[in-house]
A and B are shown apart, each in its own frame.
Chain A
Amino acid sequence: MSPVIQLENIEKVYDTGAVPVYALRDVNLEIRRGEFVAIMGTSGSGKSTLMNILGCLDRPTAGRYLLEGMDVSQLDKDQRAIVRNQKLGFVFQGFNLLRRTTALENVELPLIYAGVPAAERARRARVALSIVGLAHREDNQPNQLSGGQQQRVAIARALVNDPSMLLADEPTGNLDTQTSIDVMNVFQRLNRESGITIVLVTHEPDIAAYAGRIITVRDGRIVSSTGLQACVVPPTLEVSPC
């Protein structure tokens, strides 16, 4: 099976005047289908840049990025938008739900830009909401939901387009400990039961512990990759060997 993500010699340089700043250099990474990977690093380590490139929000200065075998490193703005729309799901630290918009409509959002008809949008959005256990809150607006619920709506939105990979950027950064555990359990369940590939950026070791593999970034380079790389859980297995 081809890897979901394959980074080859990725480099990101910010040209901020006299001295070019290397945010990433010589990054090679492979993430296989069904993996749950945590990217760790201190602030300024380049983990956010790596996340932006993985999420097709940004382009590497050099190197190749193959997403499901397709080179997406040279795509333009609109082409990257299409890739994000069809292959990626985002979960952010600040939830990033649209204000004064119901949970159902928030979850439908990616499908609008995919051109899915209204009835089908609502059906798929309801399925996604029920996966995160919020089917009964579909008419609530973000300000009527708790932080944990908002983040679960965001997860439903990330799932609704059936992405190849779910990218979560500090998803528990704004949540208390118990709610963080709840949200991480949702991620773990999605990974184990549905075999969804998850890449998680965090600086908290206990959050990273949910992942099957931890990648540490420092000064723009991957310094370590620990964990059971072979531990890819096929969706059929009920009990994780990890």
Chain B
Amino acid sequence: MLIPVLKIALRALARNKARSILTMLGIVIGVAAVIAMVSLGQGAQQQVQQQIASMGTNMLILSAGSQNSGGLRSGAGTSTTLTPEDLQAILRDAPAAAAASPSATASVTLVFGNQNWTTRAEGVGTSYPEIRNRGVSSGDFFTDADVAGASRVTVIGQTVANQLFPGMDPVGQTLRVRNLPFRIAGVLEAKGQSQFGQDQDDTLLIPYTTAMKKLLSTTYIPSAYISAVSSDATDTAQQQIADVLRARHNIRQGQPDDFTVRNLTDVANTAEATTRVMTFLLGGIAAVSLLVGGIGIMNIMLVSVTERTREIGIRMAVGARTKHVQSQFLIESVVLGLAGGLGGILLGILASFLLSIGFGWPQLISPVAVAGSALFSMAIGVFFGYYPAKKAANLDPIEALRFE
């Protein structure tokens, strides 16, 4: 029974080709818009996530607290209580912390040949590349042995390389840092500006032991980078680090910390939430056009029912039951919805492909959006076809036959 009724419905659609196609077009545009907009939003989200991941989303920054001498508080990073041994204790006793690298910076003047350049030297550990998600583009990073021996070895940033070694390979060269000769082991990957406009390539990395002994002459460290085992574990790691340090620094209950632990997940969360809202917003606007397309189906189906009142009367007179008439019109609207949906999927994929090329973003066709809009367009056919179909099926055969 379904096959002949399906044929009747398809033939009715084929008879009014222009009208059927225009009605479908509403759904085509709606579905395409949903797919393209959701893909666009997800592409943006992915882009932002990648940018944040490049900052190290699971990274925590541990800073020494403020020194308090006779009521004068000298500000963050001045406390002398944070040591490299604290970091080892953290790695041992805080299971949520995966890696740690001290960070001790000093402003230095570099000299190579007849060139000089003033920049920031940062003493770090060998886990720095892993934590900061930043490797070397040529040469090597310095080794654990370099750290243990406080060797005069350095990895320079791209800006430093450009300033001191224009047109030549700096790896293997020796450069003077505050007049001390340092061997250049490698060049850092270029990273460009930070969120705050700071040139992240205008730096040079040296072992933190070297920085502490040769440049700063201290035994404590002002700050450290610590990575949590995962970006979900940052809060746990933060708590565990605080527990370890309070115990090691003999801080009693009620007394303030002599350190601070901050994480970047706030930034990541905010950015992610923003792009997610964007995705919903774009998808929502597109969904409105899908809804308008659905109303278009309903409108055309109502016109069609009125126009074909006599046909419905004839069918009823020769024995069509409620279900026959209803399914005939319902099939018509579902076919309109579904065909429009399939067309929309193709158009949407094409549009998001072009958009991703245009924006240079990763191309993300959301399978959920595709499957969802296919189902949704069918549901639209049922939903917006139901009322007209019901109206057709409820016609009185005598009235319908009399209809001119």
How many Å lie between the Cα of A77 and that of B321 in the bound state? 8
Q: Report how many residues on chain B are interfacial, defined by Cβ distance under 8 Å.
A: 22
Q: Which of B4, B5, B311, B316 contacts A118 (CB under 8 A)?
A: B4
Instruction: Note all chain A residues with C-beta closer than 8 A to B398.
Output: 52, 57-58
How many Å lie between the Cα of A90 and that of B315 in the bound state? 11
Please choose the segment from A105-113, A172-180, A194-202, A222-230 that sits at the chain B interface, where 4 or more of its residues have CB less than 8 A away. A105-113
Q: Report yes or no: B322 in contact with A109, Cβ–Cβ below 8 A.
A: no
Return the CB mask of B380-404 against A: 1 if under 8 Å, else 0.
0000000000000000011001000
Q: Report yes or no: B401 in contact with A113, Cβ–Cβ below 8 A.
A: no
Return the CB mask of A147-169 against B: 1 if under 8 Å, else 0.
00000000001000100000000
Instruction: Note all chain B residues with C-beta closer than 8 A to A90.
Output: 317-318
Please choose the segment from A18-26, A78-86, A207-215 that sits at the chain B interface, where 4 or more of its residues have CB less than 8 A away. A78-86
How would you classify the secondary structure of chain B's contact residues: helix, strand, loop or mixed?
helix
Q: Report yes or no: B15 in contact with A109, Cβ–Cβ below 8 A.
A: no
Min CB–CB distance B147 → chain A (angstroms): 85
- Residue B314 lies at the interface, judged by CB distance under 8 Å to chain A: yes
Q: Report yes or no: A86 in contact with B401, Cβ–Cβ below 8 A.
A: no
- Residue A114 lies at the interface, judged by CB distance under 8 Å to chain B: yes
How many Å lie between the Cα of A91 and that of B324 in the bound state? 22
Chain B, residue nearest A80 (CB)? B397
- Listed in ascending order, the chain B residues whose CB lies under 8 Å from chain A are 1, 4-5, 8, 15, 310-311, 313-324, 397-398, 401
Min CB–CB distance B71 → chain A (angstroms): 95
Min CB–CB distance A7 → chain B (angstroms): 18
12 A-B pairs, CB-CB below 8 angstroms?
A77-B321, A81-B316, A82-B319, A84-B318, A92-B401, A96-B310, A96-B401, A97-B314, A98-B314, A109-B318, A113-B318, A161-B319
Q: Report yes or no: A81 in contact with B314, Cβ–Cβ below 8 A.
A: no
How many Å lie between the Cα of A184 and that of B311 in the bound state? 26
Q: Report yes or no: A114 in contact with B319, Cβ–Cβ below 8 A.
A: yes
How many Å lie between the Cα of A85 and that of B320 in the bound state? 8
Known A78-B322, A85-B318, A100-B15; further 5 A-B contacts with Cβ < 8 A: A82-B319, A96-B313, A96-B401, A113-B321, A157-B318
- Residue A205 lies at the interface, judged by CB distance under 8 Å to chain B: no
Q: Report yes or no: A113 in contact with B324, Cβ–Cβ below 8 A.
A: yes
How many Å lie between the Cα of A96 and that of B320 in the bound state? 15
Instruction: Note all chain B residues with C-beta closer than 8 A to A17.
Output: none
Min CB–CB distance B1 → chain A (angstroms): 6
Q: List CB contacts (< 8 Å) of A114-159 with chain B.
A: 114-115, 118, 157
Min CB–CB distance A52 → chain B (angstroms): 6
Q: Which of B15, B310, B320, B397 contacts A113 (CB under 8 A)?
A: B320
Instruction: Note all chain A residues with C-beta closer than 8 A to B319.
Output: 81-82, 84-86, 110, 113-114, 161
Instruction: Note all chain B residues with C-beta closer than 8 A to A157.
Output: 318
Q: Report yes or no: A57 in contact with B317, Cβ–Cβ below 8 A.
A: yes
Instruction: Note all chain A residues with C-beta closer than 8 A to B318.
Output: 84-85, 90, 109-110, 113, 157
How many Å lie between the Cα of A161 and that of B318 in the bound state? 9
Chain A, residue nearest B4 (CB)? A112
How many Å lie between the Cα of A128 and that of B264 in the bound state? 84
Instruction: Note all chain A residues with C-beta closer than 8 A to B317.
Output: 55, 57, 84, 90, 92, 96
